[in-house]
Amino acid sequence: MNVAFPHPVRQPAADAHALKQAMRALAGGVSVITAGLGEARTGATVTSATALSVEPPTMIVNINLSSSTWPAIRRHGHFCVNVLGRHHQDVADRFAGRGGVKGAERYAEADWVELSTGALGLGGALAVIDCELEEAIERHSHAIILGRVAAITLGVGPSLVYANGRYGSFSD
């Protein structure tokens, strides 16, 4: 079966820039990954968190090896996937490092609860998925993190999504 594209498709070289451009076209749910304790806590905004398995409940997330989040996950053996709602764009920006905010400072201006693993969950998140580190696989620039789900808290509301360099959401 031949598929006709509405416009000619330019195929750039398979390099980092081209892959980033291609993946920007894929809308993804926005989550904040939290890890660490006290002043050593940190986190990152990701669109790469997903369920690996429901039996047993297991999450998978990709974390850049150069981020402060990877060593915190490795050292403390925990992380939390905080699924963000439409009203959490400011949290997403802080944990993405916008404005130069780093480490424990990223937790300012939001309500956080310490979970059973020691990771922090965001009050008002659409889902708070508390995980114990099960396995980490370092590949290229990232670690593939597998986490056994210890507990889940569910919220309500529209999801925050990210595509083409912008945040958005879907109406009910």
User: Two tokens at 81?
Assistant: 């996937």
Q: Which pTM does this prediction carry?
A: 0.90
Of 2.30.110.10, 3.40.140.10, 3.40.50.720, 3.40.50.1110, the CATH number of 27-159 is 2.30.110.10
Cβ count within 10 A of residue 70: 22
Band (pLDDT 50/70/90 cuts) for residue 86 is very high
User: Two tokens at 15?
Assistant: 């390099």
Lowest mean pLDDT among 14-18, 63-67, 126-130: 14-18
State yes or no: pLDDT of 76 exceeds 80. yes
Most confident of 1-15, 18-32, 47-61: 47-61
The larger pLDDT score, comparing residue 13 to residue 155, is at: 155
Q: How far apart are CA 30 and CA 84, in angstroms?
A: 6
What is residue 19's predicted lDDT score, i.e. its pLDDT? Answer: 87
Q: How far apart are CA 93 and CA 156, in angstroms?
A: 21
* Distances in whole angstroms, Cα of residue 1 to Cα of each of 4, 9, 134: 10, 18, 43
